Structure 1
Amino acid sequence: MDLRIFTEPQQGASYDTLLTVAKAAEELGFDAFFRSDHYLRMGAGSAADGLPGPTDAWITLAGLARETRRIRLGTLMTAGTFRLPGVLAIQVAQVDQMSGGRVELGLGAGWFEDEHRAYGIPFPKEKFARLEEQLAIVTGLWGTAVGRTFSYEGRHYRLTDSPALPKPAQRKLPVLIGGHGASRTPRLAAQYADEFNIPFASVEDSERQFGRVRAAAQAIGRGPGELVYSNALVVCVGKDDAEVARRAATIGREVEELKANGLAGSPAEVVDKIGRYQAIGASRIYLQVLDLDDLEHLELISSQVQSQLT
């Protein structure tokens, strides 16, 4: 079971904070550092909350690419509404080169309308249709042989004789698709994804959704085992009940709610719950870390949770 650190910087984090967490994740043996792609704080509070303000996902990852050495880097999920697909393909390929081939692209349709209004970003109605074309373009550009050109004629995007450069450092840069949709999401994952991720879902809901993705893969002649299946879950671990309660309070959550909907409690409790996800086919967990100043939390997870997983 791979454990990856997943951050939400729009809630308030500077690049330096993210660098500190990424380096700690690398030193503590975690598999990867991922971040969300949002420009506006979520939840209660005024527009002034979330200081020092948003950081851009791919600028952040470009910096981390040069300041880390081992961990993989990526997004859960890049918002398709933020970037044109041709530009995104260039950005991600360049960051992959900068990292020596450690980047993964999670790509989603985009959903948080408030952040689009706040920063003047168009918020189209047909986001899922655009996502499908974006996936075809990004993977098509990367998959075009050097010396050949790539053209695409879609309803939302048109590319003519693109040189399809630059290429990622990796021969096949992993693409992640995720979500709860019962039909279109599994179909897109089966067609384009190397990994399917379901965020903040129960074991039972995860098992159902993994089954849909496996069925969609089989329907197009792809082996279901060709995909990695993963979950993203908020994490709150403590050596004892008091430490769990303290960490829950810091992120504004209730312990029992976290135990029901995330990975919370003692190391033994968390290991047990991760085992339940592993039993239904998950081989990777993205640990949503909401208090980025609590590096002792990461140390505890590394020494007493990760160490017990195989």
Structure 2
Amino acid sequence: MSADFIAVLANPSAGRGRHRGLLPGVVEALGVAGRPVRILEAGSGAEAELACHRAVGEGAAALVAVGGDGTVHRALQAIAGTEVGFGVVPAGTGNDFASASGVPLHALKAAEAIGLALRDQRAQHLDLALTRTDRGDRRWFCAVLAAGFDALVNERANRMRRPRGPRRYDLAIVLELARLRAREYVLHADGIEHRFPAEIVAVGNCASYGGGMRILPDADPADGLLDVIYAAPLGRTGLTRLKPRLRHGTHVTDPRVTVLRARRVRIEAEGIIGYADGERLGPLPLEIDCVPGAVRLLR
């Protein structure tokens, strides 16, 4: 197949498999762009990233991620910082980047909008976050980096083999609540140091994570800034009471909650594995930069 094609990365298990029959309709809707469509083959996350890098290197006019934030995260590793157009067809359990960036949440409408934007050469430049470890490893993310209780829950759930499905995550929450303790953090926001004990710490390019939990309700992926949140130690009861308020973003009015904005953030803490867009990044410390206009979104 010649260059100037549309590459499509699809996650068949996204949305717990609810959208398995979606792909033919997506391909048909993208056809309005008048370009050939290539479906990328991948059996794992690592293979998906390699396939995306290969497609971009071979001259793809656009890369389209069909799935949730995890699929978007994989595709971004190839597309970030390039002039190749990027499209998102929301088909996951969590579509937080799509929601924040104005992508139609109906999958086929999103695909058609991508095709029309590519045909008409329209794109919106949006920010992304770039993380670096002290060893120099780099990862991009689009939505939210969890570096507190939610990161611990993700790490535990990923180590568990049973039960399957969402019940595993629910059990991980119960188990982590049982051993909940505030950890000591050192956070630098544009060079200003903050030291505090906390159970909740997150850095966001977008407002929500986990399928609509508005952890940073005022975060904007087009303002050139990262939003940072941390809370004074809450204990099990306080954390349990605060969690439901995340859905509406009203937790930020709690006097124990602090929200900052910065272009560059560094987070240090012992025993925390950072997760961004629901994907495992690695142990803290992590440095995070907001990179304005790092992706050309087709919508």
Interval of TM-score (by shorter of Structure 1 and Structure 2): under 0.3
Q: Which has the higher strand share?
A: 2
Q: Which has the higher helix share?
A: 1
TM-score (norm 1): 0.24
TM-score (norm 2): 0.25
